[in-house]
């Protein structure tokens, strides 16, 4: 059987579990968000680097296009006539090594070597035959073996005449392709399937290493592209997570604390009891009280039962003390009274039959019990006698004695429940003047087994008889106990020996069976 500490502990563990799960979730989401944000930022930086580099190459090639278009008028003229203008033009273009003139498929003039006689299609088939505008190759004349970029500007539609600018691409690449660590480790300039990497004077295919990824962006104006190699953005993003951990932990702890506070009400027994009343999880049971002499059922004690959809059946000795501590016992008592009033039509309509209701001491403050009876009980014109059972769990303040006096005046009997197990029992007999004493089941169970408690039971019986107070023995489970109590003059008996607690609606059928059993 669960105890109140176990129930509260379960709620606390659930709250702690929920807060911990929220903390973990927030931590994971925060780090994930920062991971994907950092990964996206690194990818964007790579794209920005490539686009910026392409834009700078485009800006450097653009004046060469203008110069080539202005120089095309020299194509076809004798080399001796145009060489000086070519050299003059070359001096204004810092990135161009040489200018070659092509006429009718022959390279016939060079700004450096003067007159030439080289087949255009044999020397540069990519430009002459394949109609490429650019060719990445090595210099075989001026600085042999060094990388150069050929920029071809045709003059005729048949591609047999035009102008070639030999560009110092190594100078441009060293200026424009410098990597930006850690997200760009290598930058490569690509033209027609050939590549030139920053810091590498050789024209060769550039391939990523085992732990690198590549990103390529092409120019929209010229036939070249830029390829970037670097570590995977995910790996770089992961490397930044340790620096994000303190903030993520702080955010997760703050969120979990907020969840802990937010669930304090909902994940509490007070909320569960309030919700249980609203959701009709509480049920009113009753246990018959038998006249020890005649065997008739003289009354019933109303008992509250709770089937929590989340916890299952919760014993009264668990939720009743919790309800008292949370000031929710009065709403529960009102619920019991309301249910009893609804079942009054099927109850015995005689004044010798009584209905006992457990009422906590806190319900007596500020005349609350009187107000509730005035609102709920008396308007139903009940015939059965009402007995208010007061538990000894709490002591009554002096001011509440006036409420007790008023209950006696309006004909409500007062019973002290669990007599002998609480405190100030004898003083209660003087100040409260009860009509009934209920012997706790602990003393009943001691009959025949515990001589000390049995002696106490006899003393309680003798005391009640001398004070002319009616006695009810709780927890009668055997015939031996029933006979023992009957022989000592106990007025009424209550326990499993006669009947177990039953739903209030089942009592009329039980009463019929009991009357039939007595008559037989």
328 pLDDT higher than 80: yes
Q: Give residue 272's pLDDT.
A: 79
Complete DSSP assignment for 304-328:
EEEEETTTEEE-HHHHHHHHHHTT-
Q: Pick the range with the lowest mean pLDDT from 42-51, 92-101, 319-328, 458-467.
A: 319-328
Q: What is the mean pLDDT of the chain?
A: 87
3-state SS class at 86: helix
Shared domain check, 433 and 305? yes
Shared domain check, 295 and 257? no
Shared domain check, 346 and 201? no
Instruction: Check which CATH number belongs to the domain holding 324 and give it.
Output: 3.20.20.450
Q: What is the pLDDT of residues 406-435, one digit of tens each?
A: 888 888 999 988 776 655 456 677 777 889
DSSP-derived letter for residue 145 is T
Output the six-digit token pair for 282: 């509480």
Higher pLDDT, 299 or 420: 299
Distance CA 469, CA 491 (A): 10
Output the six-digit token pair for 404: 């007790």
Output the six-digit token pair for 292: 């020890």
Last residue of a domain, one of 208, 233, 267: 267
Q: What is the arithmetic mean of pLDDT over 456-480?
A: 90
Q: What is the pLDDT of residues 37-80, one digit of tens each?
A: 999 999 999 999 999 999 999 999 999 999 999 899 999 999 98
Last residue of a domain, one of 223, 244, 267: 267
**Distance from the Cα of residue 312 to its chain's centroid:** 25
CB count, 10 Å around CB of 283?
15
Q: Give residue 425's pLDDT.
A: 58
162 dihedral zone (left: phi>0; alpha: psi -120 to 50; beta): left
Q: What is the arithmetic mean of pLDDT over 19-30?
A: 92
171 pLDDT higher than 80: yes
Most confident of the ranges 272-281, 351-360, 388-397? 351-360
Shared domain check, 310 and 171? no
Query: What stretches of 96-189 show up as alpha helix (H) in DSSP?
Result: 120-123, 125-128, 169-176
Shared domain check, 18 and 114? yes
Q: Give residue 492's pLDDT.
A: 94
Last residue of a domain, one of 267, 298, 332: 267
What is the percent of the chain with per-residue pLDDT over 90, rounded to a whole number?
48
Q: Is there a domain that residue 168 lies in? A: yes
Q: How many residues would you count in the chain? A: 520
- Contact assessment for residue 360 and residue 321, using Cβ atoms and an 8 Å cutoff: no
Q: What is the pLDDT of residues 253-285, one digit of tens each?
A: 999 888 887 776 665 677 778 878 888 889 999
Shared domain check, 60 and 13? yes
CB count, 10 Å around CB of 318?
21
Output the six-digit token pair for 247: 């903030």
Q: Give residue 133's pLDDT.
A: 92
What is the domain extent for residue 239?
Answer: 1-267
Banded model confidence at residue 1, pLDDT cuts 50, 70, 90: very low
- Contact assessment for residue 355 and residue 303, using Cβ atoms and an 8 Å cutoff: no
The CA-atom distances, in angstroms, between 146 and each of 92, 101, 111, 138 are 22, 21, 19, 5
Beta bridge partners of 99: 165
Contacts of 211 (CB under 8 A, 6+ apart): 231, 232
Output the six-digit token pair for 369: 């019990």
Q: Is there a domain that residue 275 lies in? A: no
The CA-atom distances, in angstroms, between 455 and each of 113, 182, 470 are 135, 90, 19
Shared domain check, 227 and 295? no
CB count, 10 Å around CB of 87?
13
Q: What is the arithmetic mean of pLDDT over 454-470?
A: 86
Higher pLDDT, 126 or 202: 126
In 3-state terms the chain splits into helix, strand, coil percentages (rounded to 5) of: 50, 25, 30
Q: Is there a domain that residue 218 lies in? A: yes
CA nearest to 24, candidates 32, 35, 12? 32
Beta bridge partners of 286: 302, 502
Q: Pick the range with the lowest mean pLDDT from 75-79, 88-92, 392-396.
A: 392-396
- Contact assessment for residue 205 and residue 195, using Cβ atoms and an 8 Å cutoff: yes
Q: What is the arithmetic mean of pLDDT over 332-339?
A: 93
Q: Is there a domain that residue 419 lies in? A: yes
Shared domain check, 425 and 510? yes
Shared domain check, 262 and 285? no
Q: Is there a domain that residue 135 lies in? A: yes
Q: Is there a domain that residue 274 lies in? A: no
Q: Is there a domain that residue 272 lies in? A: no
Q: Is there a domain that residue 234 lies in? A: yes
318 pLDDT higher than 90: no
What is the percent of the chain with per-residue pLDDT over 70, rounded to a whole number?
93
- Contact assessment for residue 49 and residue 228, using Cβ atoms and an 8 Å cutoff: yes
CA nearest to 204, candidates 147, 275, 268, 131? 147
Contacts of 492 (CB under 8 A, 6+ apart): 289, 290, 291, 292, 298, 299, 470, 471, 472, 473
Distance CA 237, CA 215 (A): 17
The CA-atom distances, in angstroms, between 379 and each of 156, 338, 372, 501 are 114, 11, 11, 27
3-state SS class at 215: strand
Banded model confidence at residue 365, pLDDT cuts 50, 70, 90: confident
Shared domain check, 242 and 320? no
Shared domain check, 324 and 234? no
Q: How many domains does the chain have?
A: 2
Shared domain check, 356 and 248? no
């Amino acid at each position: 059987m669960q105890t109140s500490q176990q129930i509260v502990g379960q709620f606390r563990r659930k709250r702690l579990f929920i807060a911990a799960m929220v903390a973990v979730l927030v931590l994971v989401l925060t780090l994930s968000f920062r991971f994907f944000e950092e990964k996206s930022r690194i990818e964007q930086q790579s794209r920005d680097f490539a686009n910026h580099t392409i834009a700078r190459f485009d800006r450097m090639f653009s004046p060469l296009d203008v110069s080539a278009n202005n120089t095309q008028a020299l194509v076809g003229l004798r080399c001796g006539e145009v060489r000086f203008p070519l050299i003059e033009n070359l001096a204004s273009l810092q990135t161009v090594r040489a200018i070659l003139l092509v006429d009718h498929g022959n390279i016939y003039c060079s700004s450096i070597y003067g007159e030439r006689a080289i087949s255009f299609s044999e020397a540069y088939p990519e430009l002459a035959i394949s109609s490429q505008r650019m060719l990445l190759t090595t210099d075989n004349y001026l600085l042999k073996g060094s990388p150069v970029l050929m920029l071809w500007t045709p003059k005729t539609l048949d591609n047999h005449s035009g102008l070639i600018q030999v560009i110092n691409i190594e100078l441009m690449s060293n200026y424009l392709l410098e990597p930006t660590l850690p997200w760009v480790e290598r930058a490569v300039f690509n033209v027609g399937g050939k590549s030139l990497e920053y810091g590498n004077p050789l024209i060769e295919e550039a391939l990523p290493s085992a732990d690198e990824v590549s990103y390529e962006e092409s120019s929209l104006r010229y036939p070249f592209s830029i390829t970037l190699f670097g570590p995977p953005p995910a790996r770089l993003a992961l490397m930044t997570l340790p620096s994000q951990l303190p903030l993520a932990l702080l955010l997760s702890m703050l969120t979990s604390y907020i969840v802990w506070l937010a669930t304090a009400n909902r994940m509490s027994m007070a909320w569960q009891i309030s919700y249980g009343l609203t959701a009709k999880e509480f049920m009113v049971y009753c246990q018959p009280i038998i006249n020890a002499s005649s065997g008739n059922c003289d009354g019933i004690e109303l008992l509250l039962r709770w089937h929590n959809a989340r916890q299952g059946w919760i014993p009264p000795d668990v939720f009743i003390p919790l309800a008292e501590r949370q000031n929710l016992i009065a709403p529960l008592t009102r619920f019991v009274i309301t249910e009893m009033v609804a079942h009054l039509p099927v109850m015995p309509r005689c004044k010798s039959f009584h209905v006992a209701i457990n009422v906590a001491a806190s319900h007596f403050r500020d005349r609350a019990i009187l107000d509730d009876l005035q609102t709920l009980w008396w308007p139903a014109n009940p015939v059965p006698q009402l007995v208010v059972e007061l538990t000894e769990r709490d002591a009554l303040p002096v001011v509440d004695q006036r409420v007790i006096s008023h209950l006696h005046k309006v004909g409500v009997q007062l019973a002290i429940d669990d007599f002998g197990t609480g405190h100030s029992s004898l003083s209660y007999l003087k100040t409260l003047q009860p009509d009934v004493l209920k012997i706790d089941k602990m003393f009943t169970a001691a009959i025949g087994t515990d001589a000390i408690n049995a002696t106490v039971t006899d003393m309680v019986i003798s005391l009640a008889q001398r004070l002319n107070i009616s006695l009810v023995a709780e927890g009668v489970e055997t015939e031996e106990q029933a006979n023992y109590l009957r022989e000592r003059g106990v007025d009424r008996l209550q326990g499993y020996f006669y009947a177990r607690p039953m739903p209030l609606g089942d009592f009329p059928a039980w009463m019929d069976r009991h009357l039939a059993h007595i008559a037989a």
